[in-house]
């Protein structure tokens, strides 16, 4: 708790310019589902064009916080959020949810392609945002598929149903669908937990490429995955952020006994 208070003070003392240089400043966030408190005084600073991993046991608040960042929790009845979340220096409560979710895309645990063609899956968002020009849509689709490392595998069957793709391909398609909206941040909620090791490796390699252009925040139960792909890691326990640091430092030299116990397998 003392570490969280120190971090909170650091956040609140940042200048406006420093806040804008980072994607999210999360200060004193508490979240309730009805009377049940799920997040407790969470304070984090998410850095631009880095991969930040949220780790911790099931039910510790990782995915809940992730969904706060693009206001997905607004859709849950009885959910109440206290505290401040700034995106590019602006309180997300003051940002139109549709605009926020355009800038902060999300990829879910289970691949969820739409029951339509590969092309139309990727073009769906741009079409809904008003882009009708066929040449422009084709450009967006091809570029997004290339950035998701999927184009070479599907370029000859863009009109085929996306449901015919393998699980790993479907997940990369979902990433391409998010990229097509030109976000600045991509949220990933355990994107490889339903995939085999080969498909998982491709997603991890893709994340390494994507962070050149996007800020990525990933929830993962796989600590080895966190060490492989992330620059920063936050360890959650019972709704609190116990420790947040550069990934190499957190795993090699944890400052909190609870973090050490978790990463060495004593619980969780």
Long-range pairs for 250-257: beta carbons < 8 A, 24 or more residues apart = 251/223, 251/226, 251/227, 255/3, 256/3
Secondary structure element (H or E) that encloses residue 50, with its range: none
Distance CA 233, CA 157 (A): 39
C-alpha torsion sign, points 158, 164, 166, 170: positive
Task: State both tokens at 172.
Answer: 């990369």
* DSSP helix/strand/coil, 184: coil
Q: What percent of the chain has pLDDT over 70?
A: 92
Lowest mean per-residue pLDDT among 6-20, 163-177, 218-232: 6-20
Q: How high does pLDDT run on average in the chain?
A: 92
> What is residue 14's predicted lDDT score, i.e. its pLDDT?
47
Whether 20 shows a pLDDT value over 90: the answer reads no
Instruction: Tell me the mean pLDDT in the region 136-158.
Output: 97
Distance CA 102, CA 186 (A): 10
Q: Is there a contact between 217 and 187 (Cβ–Cβ < 8 Å)?
A: yes
Secondary structure element (H or E) that encloses residue 234, with its range: strand 232-237
Which of 79, 74, 76, 77 has the alpha carbon at shortest distance from 36?
A: 79
CA atoms within 13 A on the CB side of 259: 23
Distance CA 138, CA 123 (A): 8
CA-CA-CA-CA dihedral for 190, 193, 199, 201, to nearest 10: 60
> What is residue 22's predicted lDDT score, i.e. its pLDDT?
79
Instruction: Tell me the mean pLDDT in the region 44-69.
Output: 96
Task: State both tokens at 181.
Answer: 């909206």
Whether 57 shows a pLDDT value over 90: the answer reads yes
pLDDT band at 102 (very low <50, low <70, confident <90, very high): very high
The distance of Cα 255 from the centroid of its chain, to the nearest Å, equals 25
Across 216-236, b (16+ Cβ under 10 Å) vs e yields bbbbbebbebbbbbbebbbbb
Supply φ then ψ for residue 160, to 5 degrees. -75, 160
- Tens digit of pLDDT for each residue in 170-220? 999 999 999 999 999 999 999 999 999 999 999 999 999 999 999 999 999
Task: State both tokens at 97.
Answer: 């949810």
């Amino acid at each position: 708790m003392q570490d969280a208070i120190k971090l909170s003070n650091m956040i609140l003392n940042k200048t406006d310019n420093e806040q804008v240089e980072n994607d999210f400043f999360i200060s004193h966030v508490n979240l309730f589902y009805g009377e049940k408190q799920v997040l407790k005084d969470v304070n984090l600073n998410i850095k631009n064009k880095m991969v930040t991993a949220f780790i911790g046991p099931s039910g510790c608040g990782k995915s809940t916080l992730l969904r706060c960042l693009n206001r997905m929790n607004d859709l849950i009845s009885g959910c109440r959020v206290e505290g401040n979340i700034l995106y590019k220096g602006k309180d997300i409560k003051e940002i139109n949810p549709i605009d926020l979710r355009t800038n902060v895309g999300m990829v879910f645990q289970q691949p969820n392609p739409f029951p339509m063609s590969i092309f139309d899956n990727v073009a769906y968002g741009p079409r809904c945002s008003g882009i009708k020009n066929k040449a422009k849509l084709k450009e967006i689709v091809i570029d997004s598929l290339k950035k998701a490392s999927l184009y070479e595998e599907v370029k000859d069957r863009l009109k085929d149903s996306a449901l015919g793709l393998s699980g790993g391909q479907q997940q990369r398609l979902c990433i391409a669908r998010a990229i097509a909206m030109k976000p600045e941040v991509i949220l990933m909620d355990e994107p490889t937990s339903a995939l085999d090791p080969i498909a998982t490796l491709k997603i991890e390699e893709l994340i390494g490429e994507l962070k050149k252009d996007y800020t990525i925040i990933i929830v993962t139960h796989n600590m080895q995955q966190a060490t492989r792909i992330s620059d920063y890691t936050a360890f959650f326990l019972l709704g609190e952020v116990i420790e947040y640091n550069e990934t190499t430092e957190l795993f090699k030299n944890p400052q909190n006994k609870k973090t050490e116990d978790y990463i060495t397998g004593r619980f969780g």
